[in-house]
Amino acid sequence: MSKHIFVTGTGTDVGKTYVTALIVKKLRQTGLNAGYFKAAVSGNKRGILNGKEGLIPGDAAYVDQIAGIQGDLTEMVPYVYEHAVSPHLASRLEGNPVKLEVVKSYFQNICEKYEYVTVEGSGGILCPICFDEEKIWLEDIVKELDLDSILVADAGLGTINNVVLTASYMKQEGMKIKGIILNHFHPKEVMEEDNRQMITYMTGLPVIACVKPGDTELDIEAEELAALYRA
């Protein structure tokens, strides 16, 4: 039986994909059979995929390359959109709305192939995934797939508010957060060190890793990281 975890962020462009790639890479470096999944990804470019022209799921391609998965990108992301907007709007513009049963089917397929599956979210936890045929929020996917979470946040100015609000909402809605990863972290920078302490104090959650600009490795032991995953 596979184990899995969800990676969400305090918003767009905090580095979820970058951090997710480092997470999967860390697991695979120790010999664990680790894979990647994302329900929907927007803002993709066209290219050749599996011998055919189509949209390349950029986030999956990045994680696949950095982590050395060498998997089938079409199996990692069921919904791939060209427009660089929220998935609910992209799906409306492109006529391909997200369906929870499809997401769940793809997820189960990935879980059959990998022992550890890291699921990346789209935008922040309140990101709308579909708002036409059916109203689906990102948290619906988290709950449907029964996932605990890791929260990725920028280490800089404003992150205390962003982390506390996100963590409070997730706890209120019954979503469990295992820990926080701070991205763009500068060691010994007074404000960022204080941000780390305040975030832990105000949320009661541990900062499990800090990622410095340009890091190619995650500063957490693989065993500790793997222990965050749940079947």
> Among all residues, which ones are annotated catalytic?
38
Asked if 3 contacts 231 with a C-beta cutoff of 8 angstroms, the reply is yes
Asked if 149 contacts 178 with a C-beta cutoff of 8 angstroms, the reply is yes
Q: Are strands 79-80 and 40-41 parallel, antiparallel or unpaired?
A: parallel
Nearest in space to 163 (alpha carbons), one of 211, 122, 128, 202: 202
Burial of 202 by CB count in 10 Å (0-12 exposed, 13-18 middle, 19+ buried)?
middle
Q: In this structure, what token pair is assigned to residue 110?
A: 């990935």
Helices 190-203 and 159-172, interaxial angle, to 10°?
20
CB atoms < 10 A from the CB of 115, how many? 16
Asked if 189 contacts 215 with a C-beta cutoff of 8 angstroms, the reply is no
Contacts (Cβ under 8 Å, ≥6 apart) of 101: none
Helices of type H across 68-137: 73-76, 87-94, 100-113
